[in-house]
Every structure is written in structure tokens, then in C-alpha cells.
Amino acid sequence: MALKIAVEKSPTPTLKLVGRLDTDTAPELDSELNKVLASKGIKRLVFDLSGLDYLSSAGIRCFVRARKAIEPGGGTVAIVNPQAGVRKVLDIVKAIPAKGIFASVAELDEYLDAIQQQVRDQ
């Protein structure tokens, strides 16, 4: 009934969540997010949910907070590899646009490469 959070700063800041993200554990993620979001100019933030078993609305709020912090500056929040149950919750609440949810890290890398290409092209 716990949540483990692994933070990866580069190349893309990634929070790998293992366990259960709910009312009880959301504050932990919030405090971790605070640290991550404290560094200015984050363009991308990835939540790796491959190890997340359970997600409730309290957790979703964390994702929304991250989006609200990053997206205004042109950044993106992506979710990678959610399990079926978690994916269902995400789909119901639509807290993350469907284009921001990736089935795998490879899919995300492709997407990120494409964005970089766009930036380069501009």
C-alpha cells in the first residue's frame, strides 16, 4: 500500500512510480513534484506508470498539477506505459490528453524525437 518514486533527471526528467497512488500517497508525489518543478524551464516531464497498480483521483490531481506547471511554458507532460486499470481511470477522467499517453518508452522517444525535429525545423 505504498508508493515508490524514482526520479530520473536526464535525458528527460522522469518520475517512475511503483505501487499505489491514492489519497494517502499523493502527498508524497506532490512533494517530489515540487522538487522537480522547482528547477525552471522544464520542457518535458514523463511519468513512467509501468509499476503503478492503482490510481485514484488524488493521484490524477498530481498529474494535473504537473501539467499546469509545465504546459503554460510550452512544455509537455507525458505518461508512459500505464497498466490497464490505471489507463482506464486516466481515460475516464481525461486528465491527460490521449496524445500524451504512450504505451511504451520507445513510443515516447519517437514522439519526443518528432517534437525536436519540429523545433529544429522551425
Partner 1 sequence: MLLWILAVAVPIYAAAMYMSYRSAAERLELGAERDADELASQLAADLDAVIRPIEGGIRTVAAQLEEIDPPLEQYEPRIRGILAAWPEVYGSTIAVETGSAHTSPRPFAPYLFRRDAAVASSDLALDSYAYRSLPWYRRAADGLEPVWSLPYFDAGGGEIWMVTYSVPFFRRPADSERVLAGVVTADLDLNWVRAAAEGAPMGAIGMGWLMSPPDPESFVAPIGATTQRVARFDASIDEQAFRDIGERMLASGVTFGLLPDGAAAEPAYLAVRALETLDWRLLLVLPRAELLAEARALLERQLLLGAAGLVLLIAAISFVAASISRPIHALASAVDGARDGDLDFRLPEGQRHDEVGVLTEALRRMRDSLQRHIALRAEDLAARARLENELKIAASIQQSMLPHWAVDAHPAGARVAAALLPARQVGGDLYDYFEREGGLLFAVADVSDKGIPAALFMASVSGLFKVLGSAGELPERLLGRVNERLAESNDACMFATMGCGFLDVGTGLLRYASAGHEPPLLLEVGGKVELLITENGPALAIDTPAVYPMTERYLAPGDTVLLFTDGVTEAAAADGSLYGIERLSALLEGRADDDGPEALVRRLVEAVTAHAADFHATDDLTALAVTFAPRGVTASRRADGEHWLIEPELSAAGVREVRQRLRAILAARRVAASRIDDTELIAEELLTNIVRAAGAGDAKSRMSLELELTPAEILLTIRDNGLAFDPLSRAPPNLDAALADRDVGGLGIHLVRELAEDCRYARVDDCNVLTIRLNRVIT
Residues that bind partner 1 (CB under 8 A): 1, 22-24, 53-54, 56-58, 60-61, 64, 67-68, 71-72, 84-85, 88-89, 92-95
Q: Is 111 helix (H, G, I), strand (E, B) or coil?
A: helix
Pure H helices in 24-104: 26-38, 57-70, 84-93
CB of 106 to partner 1, least distance (A): 26
CB of 71 to partner 1, least distance (A): 6
Q: Decide whether 27 or 117 has the Cβ nearer to partner 1.
A: 27
Q: Decide whether 70 or 112 has the Cβ nearer to partner 1.
A: 70
Q: Decide whether 55 or 112 has the Cβ nearer to partner 1.
A: 55
Burial per residue of 100-111, b for 16 or more beta-carbon CB atoms within 10 angstroms, e otherwise: bbbeeeeebeee
Tell me how far apart the alpha carbons of residues 17 and 65 are, in angstroms, rounded to a whole number.
Answer: 16
